[in-house]
Amino acid sequence: MDDPVANALKKGSLEMLVLALVEEGPRHGYEIGKLIEERSGRALRFHVASLYPALYALERRGLVAGSWGTASNGRRRRCYRLTRAGRRKLAEQRARWKEFSEAIDTIAKVSYA
Protein backbone atom coordinates (compact mmCIF):
# COMPACT_ATOMS: atom_id res chain seq x y z
CA MET A 1 0.00 0.00 0.00
CA ASP A 2 2.32 2.73 -1.26
CA ASP A 3 -0.54 4.80 -2.59
CA PRO A 4 -0.73 8.02 -0.51
CA VAL A 5 -4.55 7.96 -0.50
CA ALA A 6 -4.51 4.38 0.76
CA ASN A 7 -1.90 5.29 3.34
CA ALA A 8 -3.97 8.22 4.59
CA LEU A 9 -7.08 6.00 4.82
CA LYS A 10 -5.08 3.38 6.66
CA LYS A 11 -3.65 5.88 9.08
CA GLY A 12 -7.05 7.48 9.67
CA SER A 13 -8.72 4.17 10.36
CA LEU A 14 -6.13 2.76 12.77
CA GLU A 15 -7.80 4.29 15.81
CA MET A 16 -11.18 2.79 14.97
CA LEU A 17 -9.65 -0.60 14.18
CA VAL A 18 -7.84 -0.74 17.52
CA LEU A 19 -10.94 0.34 19.43
CA ALA A 20 -13.02 -2.27 17.57
CA LEU A 21 -10.58 -5.07 18.39
CA VAL A 22 -10.28 -4.26 22.09
CA GLU A 23 -14.09 -4.02 22.27
CA GLU A 24 -14.12 -7.80 21.90
CA GLY A 25 -11.96 -8.18 24.98
CA PRO A 26 -8.59 -7.15 26.41
CA ARG A 27 -5.79 -7.56 23.89
CA HIS A 28 -2.05 -6.84 23.85
CA GLY A 29 -0.22 -4.89 21.15
CA TYR A 30 1.20 -7.82 19.20
CA GLU A 31 -2.18 -9.54 19.16
CA ILE A 32 -3.89 -6.38 17.87
CA GLY A 33 -1.35 -6.06 15.06
CA LYS A 34 -1.74 -9.73 14.10
CA LEU A 35 -5.55 -9.57 14.15
CA ILE A 36 -5.62 -6.50 11.90
CA GLU A 37 -3.36 -8.29 9.45
CA GLU A 38 -5.30 -11.56 9.52
CA ARG A 39 -8.81 -10.13 9.43
CA SER A 40 -7.94 -7.70 6.62
CA GLY A 41 -6.65 -10.62 4.57
CA ARG A 42 -3.17 -9.05 4.89
CA ALA A 43 -4.42 -5.88 3.18
CA LEU A 44 -3.69 -3.91 6.32
CA ARG A 45 -0.47 -4.19 8.19
CA PHE A 46 0.65 -1.67 10.76
CA HIS A 47 4.18 -0.99 11.69
CA VAL A 48 5.20 -1.04 15.35
CA ALA A 49 6.13 2.66 14.99
CA SER A 50 2.47 3.36 14.14
CA LEU A 51 0.63 0.81 16.26
CA TYR A 52 2.16 1.42 19.67
CA PRO A 53 2.16 5.22 19.48
CA ALA A 54 -1.53 4.94 18.49
CA LEU A 55 -2.21 2.74 21.53
CA TYR A 56 -0.39 5.20 23.80
CA ALA A 57 -2.31 8.14 22.36
CA LEU A 58 -5.62 6.29 22.92
CA GLU A 59 -4.59 5.49 26.46
CA ARG A 60 -3.58 9.10 27.09
CA ARG A 61 -6.96 10.26 25.87
CA GLY A 62 -8.69 7.71 28.13
CA LEU A 63 -10.25 5.69 25.33
CA VAL A 64 -8.44 2.49 26.26
CA ALA A 65 -6.90 1.40 29.54
CA GLY A 66 -3.72 -0.64 29.67
CA SER A 67 -2.77 -3.04 32.42
CA TRP A 68 -0.32 -5.86 32.84
CA GLY A 69 -1.77 -9.35 32.75
CA THR A 70 -1.09 -12.86 31.50
CA ALA A 71 -1.74 -13.54 27.83
CA SER A 72 -3.14 -16.75 26.34
CA ASN A 73 0.40 -18.06 25.78
CA GLY A 74 1.07 -17.67 29.49
CA ARG A 75 3.43 -14.75 29.06
CA ARG A 76 3.10 -11.47 30.92
CA ARG A 77 1.78 -8.85 28.53
CA ARG A 78 0.32 -5.36 28.72
CA CYS A 79 -3.29 -5.68 27.65
CA TYR A 80 -5.65 -2.94 26.58
CA ARG A 81 -9.37 -2.85 27.23
CA LEU A 82 -11.99 -0.44 26.01
CA THR A 83 -13.17 2.23 28.45
CA ARG A 84 -16.62 3.72 28.54
CA ALA A 85 -15.34 6.82 26.74
CA GLY A 86 -13.71 4.51 24.22
CA ARG A 87 -16.98 2.71 23.62
CA ARG A 88 -18.76 6.01 22.93
CA LYS A 89 -15.94 7.11 20.66
CA LEU A 90 -16.07 3.79 18.77
CA ALA A 91 -19.81 4.11 18.22
CA GLU A 92 -19.29 7.64 16.98
CA GLN A 93 -16.50 6.60 14.65
CA ARG A 94 -18.44 3.66 13.29
CA ALA A 95 -21.39 5.93 12.47
CA ARG A 96 -19.12 8.45 10.84
CA TRP A 97 -17.29 5.76 8.88
CA LYS A 98 -20.58 4.28 7.68
CA GLU A 99 -21.81 7.68 6.60
CA PHE A 100 -18.49 8.42 4.94
CA SER A 101 -18.17 5.11 3.09
CA GLU A 102 -21.77 5.25 1.88
CA ALA A 103 -21.22 8.75 0.57
CA ILE A 104 -18.07 7.67 -1.20
CA ASP A 105 -19.81 4.57 -2.60
CA THR A 106 -22.67 6.67 -3.93
CA ILE A 107 -20.42 9.16 -5.64
CA ALA A 108 -17.82 6.70 -6.88
CA LYS A 109 -20.53 4.15 -7.76
CA VAL A 110 -18.64 1.32 -6.17
CA SER A 111 -20.40 -1.98 -6.71
CA TYR A 112 -19.76 -5.07 -4.63
CA ALA A 113 -19.74 -8.25 -6.64
Partner 1 sequence: MPDFAEIVRRNLGRLPLEPEREEEIFAELAHQLEDAYTDALSRGLPEARAEAEAMTQLGDWEKLRRSIVTSEKGAKVLWPHPWAVPRAISWLALAIVAALCLVPRFREAMGQAPAAWFANDWLGVTGSTLHELADRGVKVRDARLVAFAALHTEDQAEADRLAEMAVAMDPAYTWVGSRLLAFRGAPDNSVKWANRLVAWDPDNAVPRLFAAQPLFLTAVAEGSPVPNSPDPKLARLAVTTEWGHQMQAAFDAPRFDTYEAKRFDLDRSVLRGLEGENSRSLVAYSCIFGAFPDMLQAMHYASLVTETLGPEAERAGHNDEAARMYWSVARFGQRVEENSSWECNFAGTRRLEAAAYARLAALAARSGNTQEAAAIQLLQAGVERLNRDAGARQKARASQWDSSGRAATIACVAAWLAMLCLTGCGFWAGLVAFRRPERALGGWPGALAMASSYAPGLLLGACAVLYLVMEPFLRSPFEFATRQALFGEMAPFWYSYWRGWDTFGFWRLHYIVQHMLWPVAASIAVLFVGLTALRRVGRAHEQRAQVQ
Which parts of this chain interact with partner 1 (CB under 8 A)?
28-30, 33, 47-50, 52-54, 56-57, 60-61, 75-78, 89
Q: How far is the CB of 82 from partner 1 (least distance, A)?
A: 15
Query: Burial code of 55-89, b = ≥16 C-beta within 10 A, e = fewer?
Result: beebbeeebbbbeeeeeeeeeebebbebbeebeeb
Q: How far is the CB of 107 from partner 1 (least distance, A)?
A: 27
Q: Classify burial at 35, counting beta carbons within 10 Å of its beta carbon; exposed 0-12, middle 13-18, buried 19 or more.
A: middle
Comparison of 49 and 108: residue with beta carbon closer to partner 1: 49
Q: How far is the CB of 101 from partner 1 (least distance, A)?
A: 20
Comparison of 26 and 29: residue with beta carbon closer to partner 1: 29
